[in-house]
């Protein structure tokens, strides 16, 4: 049985260059999602969301392999980020205002019924299921993306360049929330070696 690695299938989305922003067209993709608010890496709600996403994604993978004969690698954690007041991202001490949807990409053949079964299996071990946990589709379309290597806090200059220089020079404006893909496990990777895909949906201004 061939094991599919969607990071290779969608290489243009999961392995962009690190030295420049490039344009990609992101087709509709299916994700397991959880919504929340609070400081990433600190808020209990954030940790619960991450644990539930992986706790359901692995049973889905094994279910797909056993019942459908289709095996694949579980994808990395992703997140889209926003705030009611955008300045919350640039002012220290306001990370508790950050809102997010954490996600893990799922194959198109994973169904809502399969997710229900996987959730039931997880409920046998955990009882803190997020109300917003769901299987949903995200269609971002036209985006600018690049690979960031280093601490999360060092993303700011790249994003400032994107927002204030590159997008205006190309006649583009925002068309969706800031999207990050976490290719490295921060628990096992030195901060200077962390790999994070940065993505911004855009449209003509």
> Which pLDDT tens digit goes with each residue over 115-172?
999 999 999 988 889 999 999 999 999 999 999 999 887 888 888 899 999 999 999 9
28 neighbors 139 (Cβ within 8 angstroms): yes
* pLDDT at position 38 over 70: yes
Task: Collect all residues with Cβ–Cβ distance below 8 Å to 24 and sequence separation of at least 6.
Answer: 12, 13, 16, 142, 143, 144, 145, 199
Question: What are the residue ranges of helices labelled H in 64-155?
Answer: 112-123
Q: Quick one: pLDDT band at residue 86, thresholds 50, 70, 90?
A: low
Strands 141-149 and 22-26, by their bridges, are antiparallel
- Structure-token pair, residue 166: 């590159």
Look up the pTM and report it: 0.93
Kindly list the distances between the CA atom of residue 172 and the CA atoms of 125, 144, 155, in Å, as whole numbers in the listed order.
47, 10, 20
Total count of residues recorded for the chain? 205
Mean pLDDT, rounded, for 190-205: 95
**3-state SS of the chain: helix, strand, coil percent to 5?**
35, 30, 35
């Amino acid at each position: 049985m061939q094991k599919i690695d969607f990071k290779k299938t969608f290489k243009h989305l999961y392995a962009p260059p690190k030295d420049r922003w490039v344009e990609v067209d992101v087709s509709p993709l299916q994700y397991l999602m959880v919504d929340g608010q609070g400081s990433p890496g600190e808020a209990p709600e954030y940790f619960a969301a991450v644990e539930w996403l992986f706790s359901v994604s692995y049973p889905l993978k094994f279910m797909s392999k056993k019942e459908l004969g289709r095996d694949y690698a579980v994808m990395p954690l992703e997140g889209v980020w926003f705030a009611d007041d955008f300045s919350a991202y640039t002012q220290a001490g306001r990370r508790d205002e950050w809102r997010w949807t954490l996600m893990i990409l799922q194959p198109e053949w994973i169904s809502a019924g399969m997710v229900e079964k996987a959730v039931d299996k997880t409920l046998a071990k955990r009882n803190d299921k997020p109300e917003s946990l769901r299987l949903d589709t995200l269609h971002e379309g036209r985006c600018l993306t690049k690979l960031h290597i280093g601490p999360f806090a060092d993303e700011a200059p790249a994003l400032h360049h994107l927002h204030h220089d590159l997008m205006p020079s190309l006649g583009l404006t925002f068309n969706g929330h800031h999207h990050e893909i976490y290719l490295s496990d921060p628990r096992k990777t030195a901060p200077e070696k962390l790999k994070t895909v940065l993505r911004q949906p855009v449209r003509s201004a």
